Amino acid sequence: MNEFGLIERYFDWPAPQGVLGVGDDAALFEVAPGKQLAVSADMLIEGRHFFADADPGCLARKALAVNLSDLAAMGAEPRWFTLSLALPQIDTRWLEAFSRGLRGMAEEYGVVLVGGDTTRGPLTLSIQIMGEIERGTALLRSGGLPGDDLWVSGPLGAAAAAVMQRLGRAVLSPGSQAYCDLRLDLPEPRLLLGQRLRGLASAALDISDGLVGDAGHIGERSGCGVEIWREQVPFPREIAELPPALLHEAILAGGDDYELCFTAPAVRREAIEVLALELGLPLVRVGRLVAGQGVRVLDATDVEVTLTRSGFDHFSSV
């Protein structure tokens, strides 16, 4: 099978009316009047973002999930995506499972594969996702103001705990491990939340590299400092068994949770609490924006704590 046969067999799915998808030199589709196109890309590389033995179906779903999460963080509605693949060889069993997982996930979230690129090389998956958003309503990182509350959309640290377990840094009980593995392998993009936060949140992003580092991005882009109250940061009971140092690392600096982190003025608290009930999501206040710059993490007695790691920086770690 050559490259063209491969594309036709695994990635040429029927495109809906009005979309020119896989098969031509470029895809064509319409953005609705009054809407902006939101575009984001995320690349996953074997050995860095996933383990070599990762299940191809899970991998496909995760690759799409992390892209969907970026659009969630903007408040956008995902519509179309492209897939660029580097494959070391044509492994039909791998491709079969990968494309089945990808197609299932795409159908579940209503996004259409419109094109991509395929080449030989070390296993790399790159997805570019495109969505629509009402002009001028996107949730930017730059909209926060001193005094705004800092919120997260759910418990943090489980994905990091799964990585710790796989690297032999932590031991989880089997039940806890299953939960943490699921959080790592299949993060749930908070699409509905992102869309409903338009008009409520002043700034937002998704937590891919750890709360401290990511909240720091909101601070930087908003020209504010960030205060995080460590004891308020929610975590699942499945990781309560970790030693405190690892637990703190997981919830503050652990990547891969893909919960949303957002800021909002205090007058929005009630509306956000109502939204939490409506969506069945535990939205929790974990800090605030302050005048100044940088991130300070405070313990239960308001004493600043220092971190062993402040999120993963892909160029300085490893």
> Is 8 one of the binding residues for Mg ion (CB under 5 A)?
no
| Cβ count within 10 A of residue 40 | 20
Phi and psi torsions of 267, nearest 5°: -65, -15
Q: Considering CB under 6 A, how many residues would be counted as binding ligand ADP?
A: 13
CB of 117 to Mg ion, least distance (A): 4
Closest among 154, 174, 151, 102 to 263, alpha carbons compared: 151
| Nearest CB to ligand ADP, comparing residues 118 and 124 | 118
Report which residue type is found at 316: S
CB of 120 to Mg ion, least distance (A): 13
Q: Which residues of 10-29 are buried (b: 16+ CB within 10 A; e: fewer)?
A: bbeeebeeeeebbeeeebeb
Question: Which residues fall within 8 angstroms of residue 50, CB to CB, at 6 or more apart?
Answer: 44, 59, 62
| Nearest CB to ligand ADP, comparing residues 13 and 229 | 13
| Nearest CB to Mg ion, comparing residues 4 and 51 | 4
Report which residue type is found at 67: N
Q: Which residues of 219-241 are buried (b: 16+ CB within 10 A; e: fewer)?
A: bbebebbbbbbbeebbbbebbee
- Write the binding mask 19 to 58 for ligand ADP: x where contact by CB under 6 A, - elsewhere: ---xxxx---------------------------------
CB of 90 to ligand ADP, least distance (A): 12
Task: Pick the binder of ligand ADP from 59, 71, 83, 211 (CB under 6 A).
Answer: 83
- Write the binding mask 95 to 124 for ligand ADP: x where contact by CB under 6 A, - elsewhere: ------------------x-xxxx------
Enter the tokens of residue 136: 């001028």
Q: Is 292 left (phi over 0), alpha (psi -120 to 50) or beta?
A: left
- Write the binding mask 110 to 149 for Mg ion: x where contact by CB under 5 A, - elsewhere: -------x--------------------------------
CB of 127 to ligand ADP, least distance (A): 10
- Write the binding mask 69 to 108 for Mg ion: x where contact by CB under 5 A, - elsewhere: ----------------------------------------
